Amino acid sequence: MKPMHVDGPTDWDVAQLTADPAWIVRLDDRARADLMAAVRKAFDADRPMLDYRRGDFDFGAAAAPLDRAFGQAKNRRGIALVKGLPRADFSEKEFELLTWAIGLHQGVARPQGKATQYLSAVRDVGTVYRSAGGRGYSSNAELDFHTDGSDVVVLTCYNRAREGGMSMVSSSVRAHNEVLRQRPDLAEVLYQPFHFSRQQEQAPDEGPYYPNPVFDMLDGVFCSKWNRNRINSAQKIEGVPQLNAQQRAAMDALDAALRREDLMYTMWLEPGDMQILSNHTTLHSRTEFVDFDEPAQKRVLFRLWLAPPDGPRLPDSWKPFFRSVEARTVRGGILGHEYDATRRAYEARQAADLGMRVAS
């Protein structure tokens, strides 16, 4: 495919994003009170998370602003920030359920790793990020710019770190356009498949790596996928073609664009903040962090991966990882090793509630 400049609101730089207030949604006291009441009413410490239904949570005055924020992330800027979720009066478990409840209203949650978990606590448990089975979310490392494994990723912040842990987001559309402007030959390389490691979390019917181009386009819908750590990791897997000099130059050109000061938006997620990103049009990262000593104060965020009901048809090149590329299907995620009947039943139920299809 001949790369072409991509226009539209997803093509932003820091100045344009800063000048646009619409992607930051602040909840007022009433919306916050309604969220708190909804979670308090439904919270049952003995109830498995997958058992809750969308109808268990009436968000009242919070419903419209939350919908607006997800709309910004999916259909406009690729990024949204909600400020003012109830945090101060919530236990970690209540805040976790709030995150899950928001997900129930916005899509079908996708599993995120070997344990087939649908909601991950993002905290440092000592994982080595740059190892064959390493994952960033359970480490304190500075992360490479990357996409997560779903259409949409949601992060809610319960505690921030003592130092570091700053969140960075760049428009993959703008980065694409910049590489195309400076080095059209390298932009073309990024439309060819790269090989990504599954970090030893593959399901029984999946191989240890998969091909995916960094950029692709279908019917005007732009898609990007990036994770240098996983590409490097795949280089050590038998059968993966070695990267050539042109591919390496293309990877460097992309990372240089993503980290340019005028293109990389940085923010501190505060307790009670929720970041929503489209993985197709943004790339994200975070800096290394140092935790507080006190266990109850350590950095923790909750992460959801969602397949939203209005997801567009994706390019066929997304199929090896997403498994389905059809519009309105449950797709993406890391099925992992525990993808059992209970989890399938949750997905089928939630898909039916949202009018979506479960991929066969």
| Residue 169 CB, nearest approach to Fe ion (Å) | 10
Task: Give the residue with the Cβ less far from Fe ion, 96 or 148.
Answer: 148
Task: Give the residue with the Cβ less far from Fe ion, 167 or 247.
Answer: 167
Whole-number Cα distances in Å, 151 to 19, 75, 265, 305: 26, 12, 20, 7
* Residues 123-152, mask of contacts with Fe ion (x by CB under 5 A): -------------------------x----
Task: Give the residue with the Cβ less far from Fe ion, 148 or 151.
Answer: 148
| Residue 10 CB, nearest approach to Fe ion (Å) | 18
| Residue 82 CB, nearest approach to Fe ion (Å) | 18
Cα separation, 305 vs 119, whole angstroms: 8
| Residue 109 CB, nearest approach to Fe ion (Å) | 15
Query: Which 203-232 positions form the footprint of Fe ion (CB under 5 A)?
Result: none
Task: Give the residue with the Cβ less far from Fe ion, 11 or 148.
Answer: 148
Contact assessment for residue 283 and residue 256, using Cβ atoms and an 8 Å cutoff: no
Task: Give the residue with the Cβ less far from Fe ion, 169 or 186.
Answer: 169
Residue nearest to Fe ion (CB): 148
Q: Which residues contact 44 (CB under 8 A, 6 or more apart)?
A: none
Task: Give the residue with the Cβ less far from Fe ion, 303 or 323.
Answer: 303
Cα separation, 112 vs 305, whole angstroms: 7
| Residue 167 CB, nearest approach to Fe ion (Å) | 10
| Residue 284 CB, nearest approach to Fe ion (Å) | 6
The secondary structure of residue 72, as a DSSP letter, is: I
What is the Cα 201 distance to its own chain's centre?
17
Cα separation, 41 vs 23, whole angstroms: 30
CA atoms within 13 A on the CB side of 202: 15
Q: Rounded to the nearest 10 degrees, how much is the dihedral formed by the CA atoms of 191, 193, 195, 201?
A: 90
Residue 32 φ/ψ region, left for φ over 0, alpha for ψ in the -120 to 50 degree band, beta for the rest? alpha
| Residue 287 CB, nearest approach to Fe ion (Å) | 13
Place of tokens 């997800």: 70
Q: How many helices (H) and strands (E) does the chain have?
A: 10, 18
Residues of the shown chain interacting with Fe ion in the complex, contacts defined by CB under 5 A: 148
